[in-house]
Every structure is written in structure tokens, then in C-alpha cells.
Amino acid sequence: MRAPDDVRITAVDWLPVNTATAAAAVADGRVTADEADAMGYDRLPVADQESAPELAVLAGRRALAEAALEPRTVRTVLHAWTYYQGHDFWSPAHYVAERTGAVEANPVGIQQMCNGGAAALEAALVRQMATPEHGPVLITTADRFREPGFDRWGGDYGVWYGDSGTAAVVERRSESSRHGLLLRAVHTEAAPDLEIVHRDADTFQTMPHAAGATVDVRRTKKAFLTGTGREPFVRRLRETTSRVVDAALREASLSPEDPSLRVVLLPRLGRATAREIYGPAIAEVTSAPAVDLGETTGHLGAGDLFSNLAALSGDGLQRLRPGQHAVVLSAGAGFTWSGVVVRRP
């Protein structure tokens, strides 16, 4: 989906100050030294006090301030997440809208697992295209992977989970504005037959955590891979990733070897995954470097996309210069993949 020429994104992240280090996890027997080496990540942000929706509110307020927007002008709030939001029967999107001051907005929850940020961005883009006078959209994501319900170190194969809130303001501004990042295109592809990777095949439960006190992604993945084999699954992930990146670039009218394409930012899933799946998949499409920014964050659930976009617009090493493009890749259980192309004006 190609975006109109005046759609801007102001993206931020809010990472807790407290961290848990990989070295301490190895010392405590949470992970092995070999697992830590394969992951290649140093530490994870850990929210000791804030709930996931509170992290979303902190990020949302920051995004509105950076966009210089009065909260009451926001027309839609989209909130995405992957894990427990602190209450069993409740709408966290409405909480985010109320606590950020976006009280005139229509709050909507987006539950598309770790691709939730991209799903929300696509929904915001559709609203802006269908009704150009719609007004700003605030998107937030938040996850807190807290024990005993979730083992951030050992609950999944090859993925460590960090706590965060992220946010983005999506709005239409004059083409002459230097504000934010220009959204050029979003392309999404899904493989619903892979939903079984994250589901117990035997039965549906009647309440949360009925199958066990702690989420065990390894159990369902192991069952799936035992039946299908690992290599066909990895090959499919690579092929789909290549297709999504290629299609996103084409929809943005950008050549894969355009010198303005500076980087492809990856989901924050670890060095081994980047080397085995994402690196080869990106290399099939473009020679632009594939970069994983998860060394000090781990995987942020639904928040990887906007944390990566924040890095492109921030003051760090990944900041885009005017005229440069980037592709930000997002992926989530289900499976769903999205490629987002942005340019710094």
C-alpha cells in the first residue's frame, strides 16, 4: 500500500530504566552461555513498577509532545499488545486514550501479536487515505513480560523479551514540513496456516494459564517442528521475508539498489535469527545492510517496529539524513509480516 506524499510518523519508545543483564541470567542458570552467545544481546529493560498500559501512556505522551499536538485533536487511538495488560476483562486502548488526554478520540485495540504495531500503522494509514481530514492518529504498543506468567529468558526458543512502551503519531502535514518521517509504503503478507506454531493442538482452554502457570512457547513450537521439520519452516520464513521487503520497496517506487536506501531494520529476535533467516532473506532483495538493534532491548513484543522507527528519527547512529530511506521489517505469530518504507524529509 503506497502512502500519500504528506503522511508523517513521529515515533518514540519508552524503555524502563531498570535492566536485567545476560551475564546475570547466565550466572543464575536462566540461560546457558551457548544460548547467550547465540542471542548476542547484552541486556533487557525490565519494568518493576509500571504496568504495560502505563508504559504505553508514557510513550504516548512523549509522542504527542514531540509532534507538538494537543491531545484533544487526536481522532483515533490504536493500542497494540502481545501479552497480559493487567486486567482480565477490560479495554486497555480506552485507558491509554484517557490517560494521554486523547479524550475526543475513538480507542481501538489491535491484537495481532508481535506484528501489532504494523497492523495499527496500516489501519492508521487507511483512515488517513479514506478521510484526509480525519486528523491525527495516536498509536501505542506496550508489553511487560513479568514472572510468574512469562519467563522472558527461557519461555521461547531464541527470543528474549524486554518490557517497553512505544508510540507513534500518524498525521498529514505539508510536504514542505521537515517534521517526522515520511511514510512511503506498508506491505503486509500473512500465512494463517502457521497459527498452529503458537497453539496447543490438543484442546482449547477455558481460562488463561489453564495449560500451565507460565507461558511456554517452546512447547507448541517443538510440537510443530517435530511434525514438519525445521528446514522447510526456515525456508518459508526466508522466502516470505524476501517477498514482503521486495513488495514494500516496489510500492514505494524505490529500487532495491537505490543509493538512498540506507538500511533495513530487523525485528529484534537475536543474532542467530538475523544470521539464519533475516540476513539471507534481505540479501536476496537488496545489498542495503540488515541491522538488528536489539542488543540492549531484546524483543519488545508489538513494540519493535516503533522503537526501530524512533531510532531512525532520533539522534543516534541509525538516524536517517534528509532524503535517505529505510525499510523496517515487522513480524508476528500467526504468521504475519509487514515491511514499512520511510524517508527522512
For residues 282 and 217, what is the distance between their CA atoms, to the nearest angstrom?
26
CA-CA-CA-CA torsion for 152, 154, 159, 161, nearest 10 degrees? Answer: 0
Is there a single domain that holds both residue 94 and residue 168? yes
Which CATH number does the domain housing residue 99 bear? Answer: 3.40.47.10
**153, 177, 201 - which closes a domain:** 177
pTM of the model: 0.95
pLDDT given at position 175: 61
State how far the alpha carbon of 145 is from the alpha carbons of 28, 88, 148, 179, 205, in Å: 18, 16, 9, 33, 21
Q: Are residues 168 and 195 in the same domain?
A: no
Per-residue pLDDT tens digits for 296-314 = 999 999 999 999 999 999 8
What's the pLDDT score for residue 177?
Answer: 62
Q: Do 24 and 91 share a domain, yes or no?
A: yes
> Do 26 and 39 touch, CB atoms closer than 8 A?
no
Same domain flag for 96 and 209: no
Residue 99 lies in a domain: yes
- The secondary structure of 253-264, three-state, reads CCCCCCCCEEEE
* C-beta of residue 280 within 8 angstroms of C-beta of residue 288: no
Same domain, residue pair 54 and 155: yes
In-domain check, residue 2: no
Residues 227 and 87 in one domain: no
The reply to whether 70 falls in a domain is: yes
At residue 98, the pLDDT reads 98
Q: Of 121, 144, 177, which residue sits at a domain end? A: 177
Same domain, 196 and 154: no
Within-domain flag for 234: yes
What's the pLDDT at 209?
A: 87
Instruction: Measure the CA–CA gap between 35 and 46, rounded to whole angstroms.
Output: 20
Whether 107 is covered by a domain: the verdict is yes
Positions of the chain with pLDDT lower than 70, given as ranges:
174-178
Residues 167, 199 share a domain: no
Q: Is residue 1 part of a domain?
A: no
Say if residue 199 is in the same domain as residue 336: yes
Same domain, 46 and 77: yes
Question: How many distinct structural domains can be found in the chain?
Answer: 2
Same domain, 163 and 193: no
Range of the domain at 122: 7-177
Q: What is the DSSP letter of 271?
A: H
Domain shared by 23 and 170, yes or no? yes
Q: Looking at the domain assignment, is residue 186 inside a domain?
A: yes
Residue 222, amino acid: K
Boundary of a domain, candidates 161, 177, 193: 177
Largest pairwise CA distance in the chain: 57
Of 264, 286, 197, the residue nearest 237 (C-alpha)? 197
